[in-house]
Amino acid sequence: MSGGGPPSGGGAPSGGGPSGTGPAVRRVSTAVYRFPAPEPEADGTLRWDATTAVTVRIEAGGEVGLGWTYSTGATAAVVRDHLAGAIEDRDAFDIAGGWSAMHRACRNLGTRGLVMQALSAVDIAWWDLKARLLRVPLGALLGRCRRTVPIYGSGGFTTLSDAQLAEQVEWWQSVGCTAMKIKIAESWGSRVDRDVTRAHQLRQAAGPGTQLMVDANGGYHVGQARRVGAALDELGVTWFEEPVSSDDTAGLANLRGILRCDIAAGEYAADLYEIRALLPVVDCLQLDVTRCGGYTGWLRGAALAAAQNLDVSGHCAPALHAPVAAAVPNLRHIEWFVDHVRLEPLLVDGVPDAADGALHPDLDARGHGMTISRQAERWCVG
């Protein structure tokens, strides 16, 4: 690109087309990174020993945009085989048009789940690319109604010892978190007594001023969730996430009508139809930028939630959520999730700092300000 400030008037970056258009998207590439967990981890309904990040790089006009999703290696094949061809040679400023082209190209594959994770990574890379082409921070392009983004501490796996949980709480306190979340519904809701005991341990470790949050990952049935929820209400828990499966909207509605704590869900929502189905049965909508269609899908989902007078909360991937979470008025917070907080600085340079209970994005960075780190090669598997 030629030097100078942001293009003004009819100025377009080098390689651009007629006035108002951008350079053409030239190359879409992927990589897969596998980060082992320090020890096997589990929530109520799943166990894992590693986290896989699938990155996407998009090139246009001499700039490179970077996005990623937390998924599986097959996501990279979806990008290469089905999405890249839909956007190569398109105007790099036309993200909305490219998003629709990718969505249409995957009609016969199904457009949710893994396909939407792939599309999300491309969309994130594309917004980063566009901001870099315009030589502005991504926050300036998405909008910025706050300079810092509130976070809550998240982890508290069912596999942790009491001492490990206490250590996590101390860590969250060290960055100023005043809300903290642990996993419950251990072994598909078969250890309810321990679930409630651990919630009490969280209260004891975190102190009386901390907002307590729990996530059952859909591990209870409605009756169990009602009984556990009554104990959580007594303890002052403010957030009960996926008490039952997110697919059980009738169950969520039932619990929302009975319990005092907020009911939250939405981490698997892939599109506006799935978001619309959840809005009447949650108190706060969770949205995951790596699963719901990238920044494009997240902004649309947040607008839909606003029409229902609901806040949104970013699910996992804190560094990726920071710019878009700063752009919506109806944000409650984003999730400072232990696995992702651990691996993000290994994957990329430029992760926003956490302090005073918030992420502090670099307001002068180009794009989202993150680039693949040199050490990431160590975890690259494809």
- Is the separation of the CB atoms in 2 and 58 below 8 Å? no
Q: Which is nearer to Mg ion, 45 or 296 (CB)?
A: 45
Least separation in angstroms between CB 108 and Mg ion:
30
DSSP helix/strand/coil, 267? coil
Nearest approach in angstroms of CB 11 to Mg ion is 45
> Within 10 A of 78 (CB to CB), how many other CB atoms are there?
24
Alpha carbons 44 and 217: distance in angstroms, whole number: 6
φ, ψ of residue 215 in degrees (nearest 5): -130, 115
What's the rounded Cα separation, in Å, for the pair 79 and 169? 38
Counting beta carbons within 10 angstroms of the beta carbon of residue 314, is it exposed (0 to 12), middle (13 to 18) or buried (19 or more)? buried
Piece of the chain touching Mg ion by CB under 5 A; list 71-79, 158-166, 211-219, 372-380 = 211-219
Q: Is 311 in the site for Mg ion (CB under 5 A)?
A: no
Q: What is the CA radius of gyration of the chain?
A: 21
Give the separation between CA 319 and CA 296, rounded to whole angstroms.
Answer: 17
Of the residues 63, 128, 186, 215, which one makes contact with Mg ion according to CB under 5 A:
215
Query: Which span sits near Mg ion by CB under 5 A: 127-135, 210-218, 318-326, 366-374?
Result: 210-218
> Minimal distance in Å, beta carbon 85 to Mg ion?
34
In angstroms, give the least distance from the CB of 24 to Mg ion: 39
Near Mg ion by CB under 5 A, which window of 187-195, 224-232, 262-270, 348-356?
262-270
| CB 241, min distance to Mg ion, A | 5
Total of residues contacting Mg ion (CB under 5 A): 2
307 three-class SS: coil
Binding region for Mg ion (CB under 5 A) out of 75-83, 184-192, 261-269, 306-314:
261-269
Cα–Cα distances (Å) from 166 to 157, 171, 220, in that order, read: 12, 9, 25
Closest CA to 210 of 239, 184, 185, 231: 239
Q: Given the complex with Mg ion, which of 93 and 157 has the nearer CB atom?
A: 157
Q: Does 41 bind Mg ion (CB under 5 A)?
A: no
The nearer residue to Mg ion, 99 or 336, going by C-beta atoms, is 336
Q: Which stretch binds Mg ion (CB under 5 A): 24-32, 208-216, 333-341, 356-364?
A: 208-216
C-alpha to C-alpha distance for 86 and 273, rounded to whole angstroms: 23
Of 22 and 44, CB closest to Mg ion: 44
What 3-state DSSP class applies to 348?
strand
Q: Is 335 in the site for Mg ion (CB under 5 A)?
A: no
Task: Tell the smallest beta-carbon distance from residue 42 to Mg ion (Å).
Answer: 13
Residues that bind Mg ion (CB under 5 A): 215, 267
